[in-house]
Amino acid sequence: MPELQVAIHLSSTAVYTVIGYFEGAPENRRVKIVAVGLASNEGFVGGQIRNREHLAQALHKSIQEASDMAGVKIHDACLSFASPAMASKNDFRTITVGRTNEQGEITEHGIITQEHLTEAYEMALDELVRQGLGAQQITRQAVYVDGEESKDAIGQYAAQVQVANYVMSLPESQLQQLSDIVESSGAEVHSTLFDGVVSAEYALSAEERSRGVCFIDIGASTTKVCVYYDDILLFSRCFATGGNMVDMDISADLKLSLIEAESLKVQHGTVSLDPMNKSKFLPLKRRSGGEITIMHYRLTGIIAERYRAIFNEVFGSFDEYLMGIATSGVVLAGGAAKMDGLANFLSENWGVPVRMTHPNAQVSICPKNLSDDNITLLKSYLEDNKLHSVVGSLLYQQSDQFLLDQPEYIVQYDAQGLFDKVSHGWQTFVQNIRKWF
- In 71-184, which ranges are continuous DSSP H helix? 114-130, 172-184
Strand, helix or coil at 47? coil
Q: Find all residues with CB under 8 Å of 26, minimum gap 6, and list them.
A: 398, 400, 419, 422, 423, 426
8-state DSSP, 286: -
How far apart CA 236 and CA 230 sit, in angstroms, is 15
pLDDT reported for residue 102: 74
Q: What is the mean pLDDT of the chain?
A: 88
Residue 306, pLDDT > 90, answer yes
Mean pLDDT score, 398-420: 60
- Is the confidence at residue 280, as pLDDT, over 90? no
- Structure confidence at residue 426 (pLDDT): 35
Q: Is the backbone of residue 71 left (phi > 0), alpha (psi -120 to 50) or beta?
A: left
Distances (CA, A) of 409 to 150, 208, 270, 414: 17, 26, 47, 11
Cross-strand bridge partners of residue 237: 225
The β-bridge partners of 330 are: 214, 354
- The DSSP result for 289-339, as a single string, is SSEEEEEHHHHHHHHHHHHHHHHHHHHHT--HHHHHHHTT-EEEESGGGGS
Residue 377: predicted pLDDT: 86
Q: What percent of the chain has pLDDT over 90?
A: 72
Mean pLDDT lowest among 63-67, 284-288, 298-302, 344-348: 284-288
Whose CA is closest to 239, among 216, 262, 258?
A: 216
The pLDDT confidence band at residue 433, using thresholds 50, 70 and 90, is very low
Q: What's the pLDDT at 2?
A: 56
Of 81-90, 170-179, 272-281, the one with minimum mean pLDDT is: 272-281
Average pLDDT over residues 406-414: 51
Question: For residue 287, what pLDDT is reported?
Answer: 75
pLDDT > 70: what percent of the chain?
91
Per-residue pLDDT, 422: 35
Tell me the chain's radius of gyration from C-alpha atoms.
24
Domains, the chain, in order of start with CATH, read: 87-170 (3.30.1490.110), 206-357 (3.30.420.40)
Q: Output the CA torsion sign for 377, 379, 382, 384.
A: negative
For position 408, what pLDDT does the model report?
A: 57
Provide the CA 357 distance to its chain's centre, in angstroms.
13
Write the burial class of residue 272 (CB in 10 Å: 0-12 exposed, 13-18 middle, 19+ buried). middle
- In this predicted structure, the answer to whether residue 124 has a pLDDT above a threshold of 80 is yes
**Range with lowest mean pLDDT among 79-93, 148-162, 310-324, 405-419:** 405-419
Q: Which of 102-116, 222-236, 255-269 has the lowest mean pLDDT?
A: 102-116
Angle at 333 between CA 379 and CA 261, to 5 degrees: 95
Count of residues for the chain? 437
Q: What phi and psi values does residue 162 have, to the nearest 5 degrees?
A: -110, 135
Region at 110 (left for phi over 0; alpha for psi -120 to 50; beta for the rest): beta
Identify the band that residue 14 occupies on the pLDDT scale cut at 50, 70 and 90. very high
| CA 69/CA 181 separation, integer angstroms | 22
Going by C-alpha positions, the residue among 184, 148, 142 that lies closest to residue 163 is 142
Residue 400 has pLDDT above 70, yes or no: yes
**pLDDT at position 283, please?**
85
What gap in Å lies between CA 243 and CA 81, rounded to an integer?
17
- Indicate the SS3 state at residue 201: helix
Quick check: 20 and 36 in contact, CB under 8 A?
A: no
pTM: 0.89
Which range is least confidently modeled, 35-49, 81-95, 239-253, 288-302?
288-302
Cα separation, 111 vs 141, whole angstroms: 21
Among residues 353, 356, 361, 389, the alpha carbon closest in space to that of 80 is found at: 389
- Transcribe 215-278 into DSSP letters: EEEE-SS-EEEEEEETTEEEEEEEES--HHHHHHHHHHHHT--HHHHHHHHHHH------GGGG
Q: How far apart are alpha carbons 113 and 157 in whole angstroms? A: 10
**In this predicted structure, what is the pLDDT of residue 413?**
38
* End-to-end CA gap in the chain: 8
Contact 45, 51 (CB under 8 A): no
pLDDT tens digits, 59-88: 999 999 999 988 889 999 999 999 999 999
Give the residue-averaged pLDDT of 360-375: 88
CA distance 376 to 390: 19
How far is residue 304's CA from residue 253's CA, in Å, rounded to a whole number?
13
